[in-house]
């Protein structure tokens, strides 16, 4: 039985480790987070993902997966650590470099090293390969090296790890082939081999495509607000064209991928990427746009009940979430802010979380920032009984309100918040 060492037990590393264990490998998952390691060794998980808890318990109980704070001698090493941005939006590769250096004492001839972390173009060639070479190995001959970027959707990770097409970029052809054989142990989707540089860029463009298209929808929302147009209806009708697929607008873009990856391209080719750069600016402007509209419906010093801290629905991931910036902006505007998110634990955030009842008590507005399933059917009786002003501002366009006495705003009727615009529309 071959052994795999997965460095990084986050939202991608842990599911990947569990999936390889399920497919028959002996797997050790490595992380500096001792809590995550200890939980893993108890057959438990520290993140939220559908089906992952059950899978981890099964493979841990079977003795095929364990956690450790240090790497171990293995046949295959998979690096799956974060690649955040510095404040100037350039890539912070320290985690990738550190993870690569951590496995050096455990390498032996014939090992395969795979980087799953999303990285800027040329990271494998300019950073990872030289680190391994500096320790005395001939990369591509004695140690094989590949980049296999993850391309899964939170909430569907265990499904998409298996079914999605996988892109394998090798430092040379033999490295790509060896990596493809490894993923072929459980991937049912096509496995396509290419160069490391092409694999790096293809992953970045997948997320950049979505970011730019969300920016287009967000810009449409701003235009529609100014002109008194229902942006959501425009999107619905435009998408009836067979070659149009406008994305949905929202309060901003979050998560480790869409809010981060486009900057990796901008960093490497700033003059050649004005569209990507401007898309980032549009999406980054949305938290301020949301707060400006809250100001139209809630008096200063009023109470805003913020529903949803994660960057997308039905997960517990708050990384780069626009909700966090919106909360800070609301507090700067001297609003009283209460927070409710049934998927987030208190230790994940610096803000105090509330229950549904406490969050809406004497509130002047419920501000929906995440499309959790729990928010799609709000308790309208409690809204009437507990809120000072029964208003819902739904930036995710996901709530169904039946009562006509509850004022409901989404991105289809923002212009109704402003009496000046509403009067213009009537004329």
Q: Residue 31: which of 13, 53, 45, 47 has the closest Cα? A: 13
| Average pLDDT, integer, range 253-280 | 94
Q: Indicate if the pLDDT at residue 421 is higher than 90.
A: no
Q: Indicate if the pLDDT at residue 423 is higher than 50.
A: no
Q: Indicate if the pLDDT at residue 94 is higher than 50.
A: yes
CATH entry 3.40.50.720 includes domain 3-195: yes
Q: What is the rounded CA–CA span in Å between residue 186 and residue 11? A: 19
Q: Indicate if the pLDDT at residue 422 is higher than 90.
A: no
Dihedral angle sign, alpha carbons of residues 203, 206, 210, 216: positive
Q: What is the rounded CA–CA span in Å between residue 399 and residue 21? A: 40
Domain boundaries, the chain: 3-195, 286-426
Q: What is the rounded CA–CA span in Å between residue 376 and residue 378? A: 6
Q: Residue 305: which of 278, 334, 330 has the closest Cα? A: 330
Q: Can you give the pLDDT at residue 420?
A: 39
For 342-353, what is each residue's pLDDT tens digit?
Answer: 999 998 999 899
| Average pLDDT, integer, range 111-128 | 97
DSSP for 294-358? HHHHS-TT-EEEEE--SSSTTS---TT-HHHHHHHHHHHTT-EEEEE-TT--GGG-SSPP--HHH
Q: Indicate if the pLDDT at residue 57 is higher than 60.
A: yes
Q: Are 296 and 417 in contact (CB under 8 A)?
A: yes
Q: Can you give the pLDDT at residue 256?
A: 83
For 175-229, what is each residue's pLDDT tens digit?
Answer: 999 999 999 999 999 999 999 999 999 999 999 999 999 999 999 999 999 999 9
| Average pLDDT, integer, range 226-236 | 96
Q: Indicate if the pLDDT at residue 285 is higher than 70.
A: yes
Q: In angstroms, what CA-CA distances link 77 with 28, 98, 174, 231, 378?
A: 10, 14, 16, 48, 47
Q: Tell me which residues are annotated as active site.
A: 203, 257
Find where tokens 């529309």 sit. Answer: 425
How many DSSP H helices and E strands does the chain contain? 17, 13
Q: Give the CATH fold of the 286-426 domain.
A: Rossmann fold (3.40.50)
Q: Can you give the pLDDT at residue 209?
A: 96
Q: Can you give the pLDDT at residue 384?
A: 92
- Mean predicted lDDT score pLDDT of the chain: 94
For 147-162, what is each residue's pLDDT tens digit?
Answer: 999 889 888 999 999 9
Q: Can you give the pLDDT at residue 153?
A: 86
Q: Indicate if the pLDDT at residue 358 is higher than 90.
A: yes
């Amino acid at each position: 039985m071959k052994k795999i060492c997965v460095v990084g037990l986050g939202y991608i590393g842990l599911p990947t480790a569990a999936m390889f264990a399920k497919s028959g490998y002996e797997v050790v998952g490595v992380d500096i987070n001792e809590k995550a390691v200890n939980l893993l060794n108890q057959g438990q998980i520290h993140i939220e993902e559908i089906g992952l808890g059950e899978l981890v318990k099964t493979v841990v109980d079977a003795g095929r997966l364990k956690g450790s704070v240090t790497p171990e001698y293995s046949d295959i090493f998979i690096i799956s650590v974060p690649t955040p941005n510095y404040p100037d939006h350039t890539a912070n590769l320290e985690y990738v470099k550190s993870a690569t250096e951590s496995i050096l004492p455990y390498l032996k001839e014939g090992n395969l090293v795979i980087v799953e972390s999303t990285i800027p173009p040329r990271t494998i060639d300019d950073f990872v390969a030289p680190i391994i070479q500096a320790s005395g190995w001939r990369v591509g001959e004695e140690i094989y090296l590949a980049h296999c970027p993850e391309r899964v959707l939170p909430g569907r990770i265990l499904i998409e790890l298996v079914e999605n097409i996988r892109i394998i970029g090798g430092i040379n052809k033999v490295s790509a082939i060896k990596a493809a054989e490894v993923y072929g142990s459980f991937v049912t989707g096509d496995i396509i081999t290419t160069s490391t540089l092409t694999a790096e860029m293809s992953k970045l463009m997948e997320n950049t495509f979505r970011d730019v298209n969300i920016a287009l929808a967000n810009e449409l929302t701003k235009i529609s607000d100014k002109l008194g147009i229902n942006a959501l209806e425009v999107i619905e009708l435009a998408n009836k064209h067979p070659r149009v697929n406008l994305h949905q607008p929202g309060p901003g873009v979050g998560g480790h991928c869409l809010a981060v990856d486009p900057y990796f391209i901008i960093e490497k080719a700033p003059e050649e990427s004005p569209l990507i750069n401007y898309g980032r600016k549009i999406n980054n402007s949305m938290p301020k746009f949301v707060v400006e509209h809250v100001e139209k419906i809630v008096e200063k010093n009023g109470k805003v009940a913020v529903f949803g801290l994660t960057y997308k629905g039905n997960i517990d991931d708050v990384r780069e979430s626009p909700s966090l910036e919106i909360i800070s902006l609301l507090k700067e505007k001297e609003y009283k802010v209460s927070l409710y998110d049934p998927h987030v634990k208190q230790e994940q955030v610096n803000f105090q979380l509330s229950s549904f009842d406490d969050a809406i008590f004497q509130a002047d507005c419920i501000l929906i920032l995440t499309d959790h399933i729990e928010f799609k059917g709000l308790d309208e009786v409690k809204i009437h009984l507990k809120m000072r002003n029964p208003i819902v501002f739904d930036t995710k366009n996901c709530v169904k309100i039946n009562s006509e006495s509850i004022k409901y705003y989404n991105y289809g009727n923002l212009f109704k918040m402003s009496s000046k615009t509403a009067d213009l529309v009537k004329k």
